[in-house]
Amino acid sequence: MELMRVVEARRPENVGRVVRIRGWVRTRRDSKAGFSFIEVNDGSCLGNLQILAPVNLPNYESIVKHLHTGASIVVDGTIQASPAKGQATELVAQRLELLGDADPTLYPLQKKNHTYEFLRTIAHLRPRTNTFGAVTRIRHRVSLSIHQFFHENGFYYIHTPIITASDCEGAGALFRVTTLDPARPPLRDGQVDYTQDFFGKPTYLTVSGQLQAEAYACALGKVYTFGPTFRAENSNTTRHLAEFWMVEPEMAFYELADNMDLAEAFLKRILRDVLQECAEDMRFFQERVDPNLLQRLEQVLQTPFRRISYSEAIDILARAGRVWEFPVAWGKDLQSEHERYLAEEYFRGPVILYDYPRSIKPFYMRVNDDGRTVRAMDVLVPGVGEIIGGSQREERADVLEQRMREQGLDVEAYRWYLELRQFGSVPHSGFGLGLERTLLFLTGLTNIRDVIPFPRYPGHAEY
């Protein structure tokens, strides 16, 4: 028997084929005309395959008539053209086997729509819903496009460490990695003695693969990392996770404008692929989540991203004539409300902000000639705010070392990073794109906990 997935069985060119389908029952309806209609989904696409199960199946009375939502089945049958609306084909069953039943008094996913909040409490079952099936397929497609885009543009994929001894941002928000017994850690002078820890010093989960990616960019030219990233910031927002996925390209010989060009081309490529390859899932989000979604995304694809300096942005915000929760002033970091105003209301499309005050940005960003600003760039998009953060990196060893001291970093711990500037230093740039923020942008969903399979955030590490 030829195995076929629902996505193929739904195509009209397969009418007449005799196939085996395996999946989970979404609904069953018994008709008086001598058969039952069973909607089956196997995750291969949003749409279900309608099974016509005739009463003359040997197990019709014993099994078919008692199939419940969520049960797993195997069906052998013939694909035929369907007279029903919304589907080209249906499957006439010749044999139907029940693999695992789902007790309707216990199975939480009944036919009705569930809230996202409820579905978060059953994260092991929510992939069986339309929304999470669609998110999952789009997440896969985006991941694939990321690799394709970089590969086609001459980048190498670098696996940077998950455990690190350096804190890329020079600030807290780190998860510690240790094998010491927290109840009885070895002490020396009243302090925990990390020389006795597994690595002989304090180590953490990575907040970014950038510094290590820079080492490889300064040898292979163009590289990227793509992996899980951890931040222990206690920000219980709809845009932050404690564990998220980040893509970080790093390019030798790239200045800030090249970095912006790449970020824009990259985002547009992901967008184009998803609109093309995930059309059915994207229509679902348009219909169920955000009626302006497709129009907004098409527009993003067509228009060049606006590019303005941080200082210009501050002027625009100061003139906006509204009361901000966080006051606007040159030298202060922009908050989500400011970013969204710029992208959603003022420019009504993606904006790249650049040249931020040096005091609010990490040590590795290149200091501009004005001495007050650094070559940072953030890409802001409607619906999300910041989706990309990047910069041209400081390539001058002396300036970099001074910036480290300025920010109170242990220069010796970053000796290797300084050496990248001491030997064959080149201008270089890179950025980080949050995968989950990208998925919010693409799907119109509003909570980041709904675009990753098993979200981790303060107080939550279930499953």
Given the rule CB under 6 A, which residues bind ligand ATP? 231, 240-241, 244, 246, 386-389, 432-434, 436-437, 448
User: Could you tell me where the beta strands, DSSP code E, fall in 213-333?
Assistant: 222-230, 243-252, 306-309
Amino acid, single-letter form, for residue 332: K
Query: Please, which residue, 41 or 206, has the CB nearer to ligand ATP?
Result: 206
Smallest distance from ligand ATP to CB 175, Å: 12
Query: Please, which residue, 54 or 170, has the CB nearer to ligand ATP?
Result: 170
Residues whose CB falls within 8 Å of the CB of residue 196, separated by 6 or more in sequence, listed in order: 180, 186
Which one-letter DSSP state was computed for residue 431? Answer: E
Residue of minimal Cβ distance to Mn ion: 389
- The entry of ligand ATP, Mn ion, none near residue 282 (CB within 5 to 8 angstroms by kind) is none
Per-residue exposure over 16-51, b if at least 16 CB sit within 10 Å of its own CB, e if not: ebebbbbbbbbbbebeeeebbbbbbbbbbbbbbbbb
Which one-letter DSSP state was computed for residue 291? Answer: T
Which one-letter DSSP state was computed for residue 394? Answer: P
Query: Please, which residue, 243 or 281, has the CB nearer to ligand ATP?
Result: 243
Smallest distance from ligand ATP to CB 230, Å: 9
Smallest distance from Mn ion to CB 336, Å: 12
Query: Please, which residue, 280 or 344, has the CB nearer to ligand ATP?
Result: 344
Query: Please, which residue, 9 or 388, has the CB nearer to ligand ATP?
Result: 388
- The entry of Mn ion, ligand ATP, none near residue 434 (CB within 5 to 8 angstroms by kind) is ligand ATP
Residues whose CB falls within 8 Å of the CB of residue 205, separated by 6 or more in sequence, listed in order: 162, 163, 164, 174, 175, 177, 230
State the DSSP H helix or E strand holding residue 285, giving kind and residue range, or none if neither. Answer: helix 279-288
- The entry of Mn ion, ligand ATP, none near residue 395 (CB within 5 to 8 angstroms by kind) is none
Coil/strand/helix, residue 224: strand
> Is the Cβ–Cβ distance between 271 and 146 less than 8 Å?
no
Smallest distance from Mn ion to CB 361, Å: 9
- The entry of Mn ion, ligand ATP, none near residue 60 (CB within 5 to 8 angstroms by kind) is none
- The entry of ligand ATP, Mn ion, none near residue 167 (CB within 5 to 8 angstroms by kind) is none
- The entry of Mn ion, ligand ATP, none near residue 432 (CB within 5 to 8 angstroms by kind) is ligand ATP
Smallest distance from ligand ATP to CB 227, Å: 12
Query: Please, which residue, 147 or 332, has the CB nearer to Mn ion?
Result: 332
Residues whose CB falls within 8 Å of the CB of residue 293, separated by 6 or more in sequence, listed in order: 282, 285, 286, 443, 444
Residue length of the chain: 463
Query: Please, which residue, 246 or 282, has the CB nearer to Mn ion?
Result: 246
The answer to the question of residue 77 lying near Mn ion (CB under 5 A) is: no
Query: Please, which residue, 424 or 453, has the CB nearer to ligand ATP?
Result: 453
Which one-letter DSSP state was computed for residue 446? Answer: -
N-terminal to C-terminal alpha carbon distance within the chain: 37
User: Which of 75, 26, 29 minimizes the C-alpha distance to 48?
Assistant: 26
Rounded Cα distance between 229 and 213, Å, is 14
Binding mask 380-419 for Mn ion (x = CB under 5 A): ---------x------------------------------
Query: Which residues inside 180-239 make contact with Mn ion, applying CB under 5 A?
Result: none
Rounded Cα distance between 69 and 27, Å, is 5
- The entry of ligand ATP, Mn ion, none near residue 244 (CB within 5 to 8 angstroms by kind) is ligand ATP
Residues that bind Mn ion (CB under 5 A): 389
